[in-house]
Chains A and B, each alone.
Chain A
Amino acid sequence: MKLKPRRRRRRNELASTLIITSMVDMFTLVLLFLLVFYDPGFQGDDALELPRSQSTRAVEPGAVVRILPSGVLVDGRQVLVLDAGALRAGTPMRDKGPTAVTEALTPLAAAAREPDKAALQVECDRRVPWSALGPILESAADAGFARYRFVVVGED
């Protein structure tokens, strides 16, 4: 009896490739996450340097005024120029605060959910003197902000 040679079953002939689509998806998401939370404001010579504090109270959301030695930004837009943290001579003032800051903050205070309880996040550089910070807080008060949240960096 002639035996038929037994055919060996062929495995998949095509070279199977590693499916890396999921990995690319994951890495892309990680990259986007890092880029979103990457704050270039913490770098550079004229960067925002927040002071360290023992406070452990979480930051509440609200309109943001950022005070750098070079100027004042309201919700990311520069509205006033400072000279090494000091107000320039001849800066237009309304009452006790700079007019430009008051005008920029007024619509934000009006747009708050509860205008009488509008809170302003104050991101101030640790080197800025009270001679500049005080008038800016006066502007915020004139604009309608009654509460201030001084943003600091945790000691841990």
Chain B
Amino acid sequence: MRRRERNPVGAEIDLTPVLSTIVHIIPIVLIAVRFVTQYQHPMDQAPIHSTDAPSREKLEAQERERVVIKVGAAGFVVRGAGEGESTLPCRAPCAPADYDYAALSDAMVAARARHPAETQVVVVPEAAVTYEVLVGVFDAATQRRDGDRVTALFGQPVLVNGEAAP
């Protein structure tokens, strides 16, 4: 009895279904994927805790030299951009987008002019302030963008954990 012939020698694997599957998967992944460019805001100093504040005399001496941004639920309070403190309130209801980052940027330019040798800016956030607002503060404090022109301001932000600036 004659045996049936198996597949002829040299038969190739049919890759068409594989190719078809992959061709379908690629557009699905491309639609689902989000390509984003990540950057960073560097901070080269650990947060200072307000309880580690120096003595009162030293604090008063530092007040004249330091640029401080207090970030609260009602807006910014800036020290070091002019005489005394200046308040930059946010629009109600004070969501992250309601903070006046443009005014803060102007204040930082003024502070840069008053403290040309200073590289640090002390940022004192209140407990409820979100990370998004902090990043907005870092943006305003570290550089000023006017179109393509970028002016470096205070390159080393220092965060203070607690309710008071040291």
Contact = CB atoms under 8 A, between A and B. Distances in A.
B66 interface: no
Interface string B13-26: 00110110011011
Interface stretch (A71-79, A98-106, A131-139): A131-139
B21 to A, nearest CB: 9
Q: Is the interface of B mostly helix, strand, loop or mixed?
A: mixed
Interface in B17-73: 18-19, 22-23, 25-26, 29-30, 32-47, 49
- 3 closest residue pairs by CB, A with B: A141-B46, A126-B132, A131-B127
Interface of B: 12, 15-16, 18-19, 22-23, 25-26, 29-30, 32-47, 49, 96, 125-132, 134-136, 138-139, 142-143, 145, 159, 161
Contacts of A43: 32, 34
Interface residues of A, number: 56
B26 A135 contact: no
Given A20-B16, A146-B44, A56 B39 contact: yes
Given A96-B161, A148-B43, A154 B19 contact: no
A134 B159 CA distance: 9
A38 B127 CA distance: 34
A57 B42 contact: yes
A96 B26 CA distance: 48
B135 A150 contact: yes
B120 to A, nearest CB: 14
Interface in A4-54: 17, 20-21, 23-24, 27-28, 30-31, 34-35, 37-39, 42-43, 50-54
Contacts of B37: 153-154, 156
Given A56-B39, A147-B43, 15 more contacts: A20-B15, A24-B15, A38-B32, A51-B132, A51-B136, A52-B135, A54-B145, A55-B40, A67-B131, A129-B130, A130-B131, A141-B47, A145-B46, A150-B42, A153-B36
